[in-house]
Structure 1
Amino acid sequence: MQIMDELTRDIDEIALILRHFIKEKIVGFKKKGAVIGVSGGVDSAVILALCVQELGAKNVFGLLLPEKESAPSSNTLGAEICESLGVKYEEVPISPILEALDIYNKKDQVIKRTCPEYDPKIHETALVLPDFLSTGAVNVPYLKLFKDGEVAAQHRLKASDYLEIIGLQGVKQRSRMIVQYMYAEKMNYIVCGTTNKTELALGQFVKYGDGGVDIEPLADCYKTQVYALAKYLNVNEEIIKRPPSADTWSHYTSDQDFYWRMPIQVMDQLLYGQDHKMSLDVIEKNTGLPGETVQNALKHIERVKTSTEYIRAAPSTCFINR
């Protein structure tokens, strides 16, 4: 079996299923349309195109939600796809929200504790994890400082500082979702999410941030399938080729550098093989990885799934019997 062939087949049928799902849910919720946070990335571009095909451009609204550490290309590409599809959109910078909560200053303090040479005037920053295929199970986060596009320093991040930084960064996605619901409720629209199956499995989203939506059409589509959908829907090639990223660090940091720790084609084949209980030999032949590496990678994925289970879980409820 060729896993990549399985991942990329029947894309036209998948697109139709997703379109019908979007329409069915909007009708069921008695809403008029959909609000989408448009990031300039492939996931939101695919969702935007599907919504326009099924609902019509007049019933879709895009929100560009930049902050001062966002890549300028995110806004440019987001605006371009909205305009090309005839979708009305608005830009609402979230930097004032983050500044009011002192997020940037607090993050700078953590970075300075870890990187004494850090100067926010000259350095861009990124949070990275070692490449899994070359380092194995080593799971130590590092802060990197960049000056003029080159790595100026790299420091290991302590666990307590890592947790603090993750908490601060999560405020960005949660602030964006506040704005999306403000518009959605005013317009009587749903908020349509953009999280795909790969991200969902790995807990690669912020609870009550980009995970706090009304519907998630892509939740059963691996990232590889999202790329195939993008090609089928004629999404701008610049968006398709752009390395996917949460875009919350001043130095553009790809999901491969932090979340996946390996190329997405390898990650998706491992996830697909695990989900479909494929033999080690089949996964080994498809990925081109040695059997031992495949075994270790599958164990790593299982650990990630377990450690992020709380992110996917609904709030626990206490029932009192009287």
Structure 2
Amino acid sequence: MQTEKVVNHIVDWLKDYATSSNMNGFIVGISGGIDSAVTSALCAKTGLRTLCVEMPIHQAITQVSRGQNHISYLKSHFANVTNVEVDLTPVFEQFKEVVPFEDENPNLHISLANTRARLRMSTLYYFAGLHKYLVAGTGNKVEDFGVGFYTKYGDGGVDLSPIADLMKSEVYEIGRYLNIREEILNAPPTDGLFGDSRSDEDQIGASYDELEWAMGRDQLGMNAEDYSDREQEVFNIYKGRNKANQHKMQPIPVCEIPVNLRN
């Protein structure tokens, strides 16, 4: 990958989109991970106003500190970067108090995890509406178009996606080019939605390198039967996730009314 040229292309694309949309800048949710770090750095490089928002909900201190250190780095290098912290933990706890809490429901934990992501989305759009900012998505290609590893109307609810055509490995390559902090580059990827230390790999059952391999083989028309052992397992994980999450990747289905029923 021609890293410098790709970075310049994304930065120009971001700036052109914001200018043509008559918007003042960008807003990015900062998690302490590589995707949000790279996205916010790319937005900062446009020279347009870039608001970095921390939204902890029972967040691990390591995630919080990585995010804060990254924001400090951006602010020391870009005068157009500002930040705000909104502690959503009390909001999340209040939410749990006013909805039926079904302890025995096997879907409870994933539903609450997705609720965290949707509270953050609402917060980002609150500030975006105040300042005429665009909400910049932080999803990469494997997450957004491979396994659908994001929350519908949560971190999937954005105005534009600057890194969604980049594989995770390419995001890391750009991160190194942009001098993203080593603590972020070395941190295991996590969505941080469960209040514990589980990583994305723990949840998915495969690493991003493995998923990139499977995504590439799937695009070539290969099948699980073409492989054995761990490769077959990874390929099946990828295909299973891809199939199950098509509802996130495809447009919302619209019930079209037949012309003859309108007469």
Shorter-chain TM range is 0.7 to 0.9
CA distance in structure 2 between the aligned counterparts of 1:104 and 1:230, rounded to whole angstroms: 41
Following superposition, the deviation at residue 173 of structure 1 comes to 0.3
The 3 A distance-change label for structure 1 pair 252 and 276 is same
CA distance in structure 2 between the aligned counterparts of 1:256 and 1:167, rounded to whole angstroms: 19
Q: Is the 8 A contact 1:98 1:104 kept in 2?
A: no
The one-letter code matched in structure 2 to 1:61 is: L
The 3 A distance-change label for structure 1 pair 228 and 187 is same
Aligned to 1:230, which of 175, 181, 201?
A: 175
The one-letter code matched in structure 2 to 1:90 is: V
Aligned to 1:60, which of 45, 50, 53?
A: 50
The one-letter code matched in structure 1 to 2:215 is: L
Partner of 1:79: 68
The one-letter code matched in structure 1 to 2:128 is: A
1:173-212 deviations in whole A, cap 9, x for unaligned?
A: 0000101000001001100010111111111000000000
The 3 A distance-change label for structure 1 pair 103 and 271 is farther
Aligned pair count reads: 252
Partner of 1:258: 203
Following superposition, the deviation at residue 231 of structure 1 comes to 0.5
Structure 1 length-normalised TM: 0.72
CA distance in structure 2 between the aligned counterparts of 1:232 and 1:43, rounded to whole angstroms: 14
Work out whether 1:92 is the aligned partner of 2:86. yes
Q: Is the 8 A contact 1:103 1:168 kept in 2?
A: no
Partner of 1:202: 147
Structure 2 unaligned residues grouped into runs of 5+: 76-80
Q: Is the 8 A contact 2:169 2:209 kept in 1?
A: yes
Identity of aligned residues (%): 27
Following superposition, the deviation at residue 247 of structure 1 comes to 0.8
1:213-238 deviations in whole A, cap 9, x for unaligned?
A: 00011111111111111011110010
CA RMSD of aligned residues (A): 2.3
Q: More displaced, 201-210 or 83-92?
A: 83-92
Partner of 1:150: none
CA distance in structure 1 between the aligned counterparts of 2:111 and 2:47, rounded to whole angstroms: 36
The 3 A distance-change label for structure 1 pair 51 and 164 is same
Work out whether 1:177 is the aligned partner of 2:121. yes
Work out whether 1:12 is the aligned partner of 2:4. yes
Q: Is the 8 A contact 2:206 2:234 kept in 1?
A: no
Partner of 2:78: none
The 3 A distance-change label for structure 1 pair 72 and 206 is same
CA distance in structure 2 between the aligned counterparts of 1:184 and 1:29, rounded to whole angstroms: 13
Aligned to 1:273, which of 217, 226, 235?
A: 217
Q: Is the 8 A contact 2:51 2:82 kept in 1?
A: yes
Partner of 1:153: none
The 3 A distance-change label for structure 1 pair 220 and 170 is same
CA distance in structure 1 between the aligned counterparts of 2:180 and 2:108, rounded to whole angstroms: 37
